[in-house]
Structure 1
Amino acid sequence: MNYHQYYPVDVVNGPGTRCTLFVSGCEHQCRGCYNQSTWRPDSGHPFTEDMAAQIIRDLNDPRIPRRGLTLSGGDPLHPANVADVLQLVKRVRESCPGKDIWLWTGYVLAELNPAQQAVVQLIDVLIDGKYIQAERDPSLNWRGSANQVIHYFDTNDVKC
């Protein structure tokens, strides 16, 4: 897996202060996408063990209380990313108790394959659906277009 950008402190991509990883690879290639540079799976930087360890350290750093991890892209559920995203999510679950995990994908929850479902079973919030420029709505929380759906899997999570 490759990634384009990592923000150890982010207050835009989900509630509270978060760590945000933008992965490479997206087969949806939505018209009007704001992150077209992430479409190619081989673009960006290799996601290494050092980067995974840095994310865990950042999530657990008491100097900046972080609510959780955001996974975006590109598409974290792109076939080239699923195995590494699954390992990262498992590691966050084991090493960062109390941190939530949000994930944005162009895929739709009902159509996910078993590997993608394995990732989704370990996250708290999924925002699914392709970005549709004709349904763009800047007033929506956490979504770019009205067709996208926010799925809350953790009943203790604050619904924003």
Structure 2
Amino acid sequence: MEDRKIRLAGMIYESLSNGPGLRRVLFSQGCRHKCKNCFNPHTHSFTGGELMDMDEIIVDIVSNPMIKGVTFSGGDPLEQAEKFSYIAKKVREKGKSVWIYTGYTFEEILSKISENKGWEKLLNYTDVLVDGKFDTNKKDEKLKFRGSANQRIIDIRKSLNTKEIYTINC
């Protein structure tokens, strides 16, 4: 990949609430979903945030032995799937897990995968996908790793291998 910059709205260097274990969280800049009462509305614009060097991000993640994985949130990481797939590949090669939060459902992703550059590649480097738009009417603060009851925590490895959706209960 020639352009080694990714547009991020922000980053959490150490998080325990965006997947299991201590995680680095990258917030993608750009989202088409614009969910009502989104907790990150500043991430919706595709021109906001800042450009960051992906190789520097990767080195910082893999050099920290305390970090168990990386979580891509948003915005929507699928809007920059090629760039996130580059990061995901590199961190998985170093034994770190990859979680993605997206407003797209797994079914939508599969039905549109051929027309969206990078989606398939990104899924192939993903361990867990939390799918679906945030639904303020189904908000539940007791849910672990998701904001509303319609969102699913999907084991992507198992789901892609069997062509069935395997959810994880947390």
Query: TM range, normalised to the smaller chain?
Result: 0.7 to 0.9
Task: Please name the residue that 2:161 is paired with.
Answer: none
Unaligned runs of 5+ in 2: 1-5, 159-167
Alpha-carbon distance between aligned partners in 2 of 1:26 and 1:72, rounded to the nearest angstrom? 10
The list of structure 1 runs, each at least 4 consecutive aligned residues, that deviate by more than 3 angstroms after superposition, is none
Aligned length: 150
The offset of 1:53, in angstroms, is: 2.3
TM-score, normalized by length of structure 2? 0.81
Of 139, 150, 155, which aligns to 1:147?
150
The answer to whether 1:54 aligns with 2:54 is no
* TM-fit CA distance, 1:18: 0.8
The CA distance in 1 between the partners of 2:61 and 2:120, in whole Å, is 26
Contact conserved, 1:107 with 1:128, CA < 8 A, in 2? Answer: yes
Q: 2:48 aligns with which of 37, 43, 52?
A: 43
Give the percent of matched residue pairs that are identical in Structure 1 and Structure 2: 34
- Cα deviation for residue 60 of structure 1 reads 2.8
Structure 1 partner of 2:122: 119
In structure 2, C-alpha distance between the alignment counterparts of 1:57 and 1:133, rounded to whole Å: 35
Give the superposed CA RMSD.
1.8
Conserved in 1, the CA contact under 8 Å of 2:7 and 2:52?
yes
Higher relative contact order (CA 8 A, sep 6+): 1
TM-score normalized with structure 1 length: 0.85
Kept after mapping to 2: 8 A contact 1:70/1:101: yes
Q: Which 5+ residue runs of structure 1 have no aligned equivalent?
A: none
